[in-house]
Amino acid sequence: MLIGITGTLGAGKGTIVEILKNKGFTHYSVREFLIEEIKKRGLPMDRNSMVLVGNHLREENSPSYIVEKLYARAKGNGGNSVIESIRAIGEVEALKKKGDFYLFSVDAEIEKRYSRIKERKLDSDFVSYDKFVSDEKREMENSDPTKQNLSECIKMSDFKFMNNGTISDLEKKVEEVLNKIKASF
């Protein structure tokens, strides 16, 4: 089984990944894939570089280029896998064609999400609240299939999680969904 994760900034994508990893899923990260590319290109490690490099790779190759690379790694390793940080419509469409794929989306109140990114202290997260909001707006909608369109990816998700509670609350929600998926086999 392959699970993709999309969602708003700081909503809990990584937390769902950790829950799935504890259940034996292998993790593949769009973010880590982009960080490798950013380092190769000698660019600053920030959200702007991630957006620019991601868009460039999709424009140069295909709208699904990044997830196709991660999918190939996942299939090569076998077993249950999770691809984190799906942000473009072309990525979702390509993975849905593979079969045995489920897209999870996660969201939370914006103030809670901003607080979370400040706590996790990743290089790309050291931004003001206003910058956080503007970054999200930039990634939320776009008619170009090679660019981020979080709102459409969220609409395309098979299962939606609202993550305003505790990690334990989210874990229960994920467990319920995994049980639904297993029951459908």
pTM of the model: 0.91
One digit per residue, pLDDT tens: the chain, 185 residues? 999 999 999 999 999 999 999 999 999 999 899 999 999 999 998 888 988 999 999 999 999 999 999 999 999 998 899 999 999 999 999 999 998 899 999 999 999 999 988 887 666 667 889 988 988 888 898 888 788 899 999 999 999 999 999 999 999 999 999 999 999 87
* pLDDT for 169: 97
Could you tell me which residues come within 8 angstroms of residue 14 by beta carbon, excluding any fewer than 6 positions away?
84, 120
* pLDDT for 123: 61
* pLDDT for 124: 61
* pLDDT for 139: 87
Q: Strand 159-162 and strand 2-7: pairing?
A: unpaired
Interatomic CA distance for residues 126 and 122, integer angstroms? 7
Structural tokens at position 28:
């593949």
CA 157 to chain centre: 11
* pLDDT for 81: 97
Query: What domains appear along the chain, each with residue ranges and CATH number?
Result: 2-176 (3.40.50.300)
Long-range contacts of 14-23 (CB under 8 A, 24+ apart): 14/84, 14/120, 15/163, 15/167, 15/170, 16/82, 16/104, 16/106, 16/161, 16/170, 16/174, 17/82, 17/84, 19/170, 19/171, 19/174, 20/80, 20/82, 20/174, 21/82, 23/80, 23/178
Could you tell me which residues come within 8 angstroms of residue 69 by beta carbon, excluding any fewer than 6 positions away?
33
